[in-house]
Structure formats: structure tokens, C-alpha cells
Amino acid sequence: MNSDVAAVEKVLQVYFDGLYEGDTKKLGEAFHPASHLYSAGSDGKAADLPRAEWFKAVESRPSAKSKGSARADRIVSIDFSGPATAIAKVECQIPPRYFTDYLTLLKVDGRWQVISKSFHTVTKDA
């Protein structure tokens, strides 16, 4: 199990790096091709964003790194429900947006990847 914890932590670090750098190649390593992102929209309805659409958004905006933003990535918890299923709660930021993410991970073909991300965002003025 310790090797699985380390493997999930490594995936989460790749996610943090990809998000901070705006690097969809790194995000593609962390996120399964079939992955989706979910959130509650401002209209109170569920928003579903496939990975490919998210990558387009990431590529179209300046990265936090390019703006010199500070990093504040944190793994809050990792919970395993079996040998191939885990959920991680993480916190990260792309100022002025601050995220709490729930990442569901699956171990497929011997490799951990994020299959879904549910998130909450808070926007703070500088």
C-alpha cells in the first residue's frame, strides 16, 4: 500500500505542476483520456467538462507560472477504497482563483490516473 500512496502522491504532484505551468502534456499524464471535471455552476446546475475541453481552456489562458504567482499546493487527504480506487482532496490556486478539488483516481494497467475531478472555486481580489 505504501507504494500506492507514493504513486498517487506522484500523480498529484504532476497535476499541481501541470496546473501551475499551464502544461497540458503534464496534465495528460495525470488525467485519464476519459476523465471529466465537474462543478456546480452559478446557476445551481451541474457542469460537466470533458478533459479535451478543459485542456483547450488551460492552453488559452496565461499560466500561474508565467504571471509569477505563488504556489500553495497541498494534499489534504488520500483515501483508498481498494487496490485500484482512491480519492484525493487537494487544494491549489491560480490567483485570483483558489480551488478545492476532489480527485477520483483509478489504477488501470498498473498506473494511477485521475478519472474525475469535482471542484469548488473561490475568487479573491488581489
Positive or negative torsion for Cα 119, 37, 86, 73:
negative
21, amino acid identity: E
Residue indicated by cell numbers 457542469: 47
- In degrees, to the nearest 5, what angle opens at C-alpha 72 toward C-alphas 66 and 75? 130
pTM value is 0.93
Q: Which long-range contacts (CB under 8 A, 24 or more apart) does 54-61 make?
A: 54/27, 55/24, 55/27, 55/28, 58/19, 58/22, 58/24, 58/27, 59/22, 59/24, 61/22
Which pLDDT tens digits describe the chain residue by residue (126 residues)? 589 999 999 999 999 999 999 999 999 999 999 999 999 988 999 999 999 999 999 999 999 999 999 899 999 999 999 999 999 999 999 888 899 999 999 999 999 999 999 999 999 875
